[in-house]
């Protein structure tokens, strides 16, 4: 992939993510977070799904433990991206400590499709820096205009987050275990919504991966395609 191509693709992706950032800012504002807290979350937590999960649990009246629990479950997958982006990472410890901050869905996706290690690193850093900038700016903008906008529902902003995840879940549905995990997670969430406090349906939904993983392993061991 040409040098300029992946840089411009990273930029376009970052602009779209900036719109989702506005939504995060509006929702965080509605959940009672100050501008300083919004900036701290977007600049330093910097993993969108976890931020949305934490804020929506708080906004829904959930406990702090449930908010942090859901957010951490969603953040755990970033650990698995480390090996994927490793080829484009700097060799120095300081460089990798800095790079680690930018290991998220989008940078991993952009880095993993490059042909060479050099391009993988270049795509990783450019996508990461564009995303980080737009995510922060979008969040600040959303937090500031939140009170002017009034109810985010009027503008359909509450539809932006599920829509973004419809797009982001697609790569995870390419395998059968992925599709079963998604079905199981959705089903468990529907059952858990009326029965448990805000935030807990997500924790319940995560348990769907255990039987799916075991069945997938058995199917592989039996020689059938999972």
Partner 1 sequence: MSWLMISVLIAGAYGFKVLGVFGLAGHRTGRVAGRMAELTALIPAALFAALIVVQTLGSDQSISIDARLGGLLVSVVAVSRRAPFVVVVVAAMAATATLRVVAG
Site residues (CB under 8 A) for partner 1, limited to 61-90: 61, 64, 67-68, 71-83, 85-86, 89
Binding flag, residue 154, partner 1 (CB under 8 A): yes
CA dist., res. 141 & res. 159, Å (int): 18
Positive/negative CA dihedral, 207, 199, 169, 180: positive
Q: From CA 151, how far away is CA 189, in angstroms rounded? A: 26
Binding segment toward partner 1, per CB under 8 A, in 113-121, 131-139, 140-148, 201-209? 201-209
Does 185 bind partner 1 (CB under 8 A)? Our answer is yes
Measured between its terminal Cα atoms, the distance across the chain in Å is: 32
Site for partner 1 in 91-110 (CB under 8 A): 96-97, 99-101, 103, 105
Among 58, 131, 136, 140, binds partner 1 (CB under 8 A): 58
> In this structure, how many other beta carbons lie within 10 angstroms of the beta carbon of residue 222?
8
Distance (Å, whole) CA 149 – CA 145: 6
Please identify, among the stretches 110-118, 125-133, 134-142, 182-190, the one whose residues bind partner 1 according to the rule CB under 8 A: 182-190
- List 2, 94, 166, 221, residue binding partner 1 (CB under 8 A): 166
Contact flag: residue 136 with partner 1 (CB under 8 A): no
Coarse DSSP helix, strand, coil percentages of the chain, rounded to the nearest 5 percent: 80, 0, 20
- Backbone angles phi and psi of 88, in degrees to 5: -100, 5
Residues that contact partner 1, how many (by CB under 8 A): 103
Stretch that binds partner 1, among 9-17, 118-126, 129-137, 139-147 (CB under 8 A): 9-17
Is residue 125 near partner 1 by the rule CB under 8 A?
Answer: no
56 binds partner 1 (CB under 8 A): yes
Using alpha carbons, select from 37, 97, 103 the residue that is nearest to residue 67.
37
- Closest of 20, 17, 40 to residue 142, by C-alpha: 20
Q: Which 10-49 residues touch partner 1, going by CB under 8 A? A: 12-13, 15-17, 19-20, 31-33, 37, 40-41, 44-47, 49
């Amino acid at each position: 992939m040409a040098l300029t191509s992946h840089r411009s693709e990273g930029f376009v992706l970052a602009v779209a993510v900036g719109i989702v950032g506005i939504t995060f800012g509006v929702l965080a504002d509605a959940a009672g977070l100050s501008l300083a807290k919004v900036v701290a979350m977007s600049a330093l937590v910097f993993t969108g799904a976890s931020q949305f999960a934490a804020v929506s649990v708080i906004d829904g009246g959930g406990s702090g433990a449930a908010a942090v629990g859901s957010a951490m479950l969603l953040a755990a997958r970033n650990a698995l991206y480390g090996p994927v982006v490793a080829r484009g990472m700097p060799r120095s410890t300081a460089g990798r400590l800095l790079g680690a901050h930018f290991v998220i869905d989008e940078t991993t996706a952009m880095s993993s499709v490059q042909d060479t290690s050099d391009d993988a690193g270049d795509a990783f850093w450019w996508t990461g820096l564009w995303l980080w900038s737009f995510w922060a700016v979008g969040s600040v903008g959303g937090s500031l205009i939140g009170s002017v906008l009034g109810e985010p529902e009027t503008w359909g902003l509450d539809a932006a987050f599920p829509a973004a995840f419809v797009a982001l879940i697609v790569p995870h549905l390419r395998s059968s275990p992925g599709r079963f995990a998604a079905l199981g997670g959705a089903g468990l969430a529907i059952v858990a919504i009326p029965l448990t406090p805000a935030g807990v349906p997500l924790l319940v939904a995560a348990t769907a991966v255990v039987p799916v993983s075991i069945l997938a392993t058995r199917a592989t061991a039996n020689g059938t395609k999972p």
